[in-house]
């Protein structure tokens, strides 16, 4: 199993595989579960209205939940971006949230593409 595509997207695959006891089957399952997670799409929905009527508690909840999942899956860059978003919303630095979310989006989309590319390369549907 070639994990270079995932590594290039910022996933620490050596740590992740150690956590998963080197099980390729479990890796496939957890990455599929990550792809099904709705927290990012909820953040996207919230930020799609150009900052009008943002529910800051919802931003904190979805970002914090996604941060936990990304940390568990050793997606360190995404986790760091989400931590900044969580920190800024908790500190009331609402003027920074859109910029934070743009960085989260870049990292998230990079990881989603990498997972899809990896699955295609490995012949996984």
* pLDDT tens per residue across span 24-39: 999 999 999 999 999 9
pLDDT at 73 over 80: yes
The count of other CB atoms within 10 Å of the CB of residue 79 is 19
Rounded CA separation 99/101 (Å):
5
Confidence grade of residue 125 (pLDDT, cut at 50, 70, 90): confident
Buried b (16+ CB within 10 A) or exposed e, 89-118: beeeeeeebeebbebbeebbebbeebbeeb
> Average pLDDT for residues 91-107, to the nearest whole number?
97
The contacts found for 96-102 with CB under 8 angstroms, 24 or more apart, are 97/47, 97/51, 97/54, 97/59, 98/47, 98/51, 101/43, 101/47
Confidence grade of residue 5 (pLDDT, cut at 50, 70, 90): very high
Confidence grade of residue 51 (pLDDT, cut at 50, 70, 90): low
pLDDT at 52 over 80: no
Domains and CATH numbers, the chain: 4-122 (1.20.120.160)
Averaged confidence pLDDT in the chain: 95
Sequence length of the chain is: 125
Confidence grade of residue 124 (pLDDT, cut at 50, 70, 90): confident
């Amino acid at each position: 199993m070639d994990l270079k595509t995932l590594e290039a997207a910022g996933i620490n695959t050596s740590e992740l595989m150690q956590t998963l006891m080197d099980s390729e089957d479990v890796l496939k399952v957890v990455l599929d579960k990550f792809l099904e997670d709705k927290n990012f799409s909820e953040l996207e929905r919230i930020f799609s209205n150009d900052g009008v009527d943002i529910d800051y508690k919802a931003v904190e909840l979805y970002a914090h939940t996604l941060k936990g999942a990304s940390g568990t899956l050793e997606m360190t860059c995404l986790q760091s971006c989400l931590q900044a978003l969580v920190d800024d919303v908790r500190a009331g630095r609402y003027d920074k949230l859109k910029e934070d979310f743009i960085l989260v989006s870049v990292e998230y989309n990079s990881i989603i593409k990498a997972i899809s590319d990896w699955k295609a390369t490995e012949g996984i549907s």
